[in-house]
Amino acid sequence: MDESYIKVKGKWVYYYRAVDKVGAIIDFYLSETRNEQDARAFFDKAIKSSGLPRKVVIDKSGANAAALDTLNIHLWLGGYMLCMVEILAVKYLNNIVEQSHRKVKGTMHQCLGWKSWVGAESILAGVEVCAMIKHGQMLDSEGITSWDQFYALAA
């Protein structure tokens, strides 16, 4: 899990992303601030779509660590001690998600930032879906070409 900066309406905002250990995209989230509440909202969204992870690799961000600590406290108090998330703050283990930011950064540099929040979310969602199709993450993708998957989504 990592966050990056993108420009929306002339302001730098935070773009949270999570990928698994092989680079498959888990989820993304756009936020105006970088604090525990936004990191927690991202983790809640990612957990809702992909389930609770066993380990999370983060950078040295205090907001992400605090959000994961809060999540672990809720798991502990809820009686799910064996399901607690292991937090790894190792700089070089985070390279997979750091490298996956390249597509988004390239798209942002081409358009010099986005003019609206809705436009930024729409383009980023499209970039993520295209990456998921390319990596074969879509359901029932066996035997269907990338173009057919894309046209099925657009239809």
Which pLDDT value is given to residue 145?
66
How sure is the predictor about 132, in pLDDT bands with cuts at 50, 70 and 90? confident
CATH number of the domain where residue 85 is located: 3.30.420.10
pLDDT digits (tens, 9 = 90+) for 74-85: 999 998 888 899
What gap in Å lies between CA 69 and CA 17, rounded to an integer?
19
Per the CB < 8 A criterion, the answer to whether 1 and 16 are in contact is yes
What gap in Å lies between CA 1 and CA 95, rounded to an integer?
10
Q: Give residue 86's domain range.
A: 2-154
How sure is the predictor about 25, in pLDDT bands with cuts at 50, 70 and 90? confident
Which pLDDT value is given to residue 17?
86
Q: Which residues pair with 33 in a beta bridge?
A: none
Which pLDDT value is given to residue 136?
72
Q: Are strands 86-88 and 25-31 parallel, antiparallel or unpaired?
A: unpaired
Which residue, chain included where needed, has tokens 């935070």?
14
pLDDT digits (tens, 9 = 90+) for 39-97: 999 999 999 988 899 999 888 878 889 999 999 999 999 988 888 999 988 777 666 66
Tally the domains of the chain.
Answer: 1
